[in-house]
A and B are shown apart, each in its own frame.
Chain A
Amino acid sequence: MVESGVGAGAGKGDRGPLYAEPPTIEVRDLHIAYGGRSALSDVSFDVYRHEIFGIIGPANSGKTSFLRALNRMSDFVTGMEVRGDVRINGKDIGDWRNVYALRSRIGVVFPLPVGLPMSVYDNVAFAPRLRGIRRKSELDDVVERCLTRAALWDEVKDRLDSLGSLLSGGQQQRLTIARALSQEPELLLLDEFSIAVDPVTTMRIEDVLRELRSELTIVLVTNLVQQARRLADRTAFFLNGTLVEIGKTEHLFEGRVNDERTSHYIEGRFG
């Protein structure tokens, strides 16, 4: 597999991150706590359109909590408190009275794949149906397009009626990605998506993500620093609930860091 240091997907026809435009996500003084125990404190940064934004850090550094706050999953978690401002496309996420409408615009992929207990087809048609799409031909199109983009179509096109939860782990994770794409999201959040996936499939999914970057914005939480290096345009390093450092991925991996803990983590000296 290609380990091209600055590997942030220099594919052809690639629209790079739009740093000159207003950011897609603006995080200001974000503070997350669970029942008084702080999980993330006073974090501020921006994520730009068509960017793959990597977040690395050891366990309990607040990465997953950050993703949960982004689509206000925190509303459904008892004891989870979120303070501070998060704006997506300039609009404060707290201003969405209809939190479901906000979530439908954000695709999320979990560490462990969750194939819903319904057919492969219905898994991918779930979100379009929520949007009110009923016509069979239209649904067929969405299902084929999303499965193709998630690099799964060829493997499942002959058994779209079989259960999504019976696919292999790697296939289920690509099914989850196809499902996230079927939401036609503007923002895709990936939380350690490769934990239950073999290396070959991981590389295929990474290729998919590089292509997707030209259409949407991706936040990639990963505990594989090399994955951040291969994919992310910029990378943030979270440690114990604080943002230690944020910078261009290539700079961080060349050792151009402001805080030596970052290079220690990247070099695997702790964490």
Chain B
Amino acid sequence: MIDIQLVGLLNATLQAATLLFIAALGELITEKSGILNLGVEGMISIGAVTGFMTAINTQNILLSVLVGILSSSVFASIHALVTVVLKQDQTVSGLILTILGLAVSALLGKNYVGKKLETKLENISSINEPSNILEVLISQNIIFYIAVVLMIITSYVLKNTMFGRRLEAVGEDSRSSDSMGLKIAKTQFIATCVGGAFAGLSGVYLTLSYVPYWTDNMTSGRGWIALALVIFGGWKPYRTALGALLFGFLEALVPRLQTYGFELSPYIVKITPYIITILVLIILTVYKGGITGAPKNIGVPFFRENR
């Protein structure tokens, strides 16, 4: 038997972490192929609004999730088109994707602001008031378990499959990969769209479960934290998950510290994720000679003709 507030803290940690982790995992896959996509915030937003609109109109939760994933993926293909096919600057294109995504989702969602969602993503088991850690773990939302499965699959695919090897090769050294006959553009295009799909899933989790309604600017910066998470996690799925738990824990802690009666300033808790990320980068630079885990070709467009 543990304290109800402790259960609440754990629950809230897992909720906040799930949102951050899925988006970060998608970005990790994209970045592994050498494409930096700063449009995470916009992609989450697109998935969130399209999923919510579908849920309001059809009451079909599975369809809503699929629509959210697909529309974010299609939206991410804009970035793929600009950076992979047209070989334009990835930073600029990604930033535009964020601004565009927020604006388009605000426009799409105009008539859905403040509407009540009748069908939510339900929790998987029916334990209403979990009283121990095990019960909390088995009574999470279905997306939480999907996130865990995605983490295991992604890690396996990256390490042990041909596709994962190719992805890494393209991101590390596109010139050699090209000489070896790998299809650079195709790999990067797929990786970018997969990243978008993950961000979309994160978005539908936001509006169909975590904060179940729609209003402009729903994401309020979570996409940027997801980007920081990829760096924190050193482009490794398990370490990214650990980071998501830590960041989620801190987010859940801010209001709860106050109800526990601690006098610690919430401002300090709020800036901690960013300080930790910077510290991790510094420590890796000092002790590992700058090996942060970043793919070497990240952000560099591949021109076959350039020698």
Q: Do they bind each other?
A: no
Chain B residues within CB distance 8 Å of chain A: none
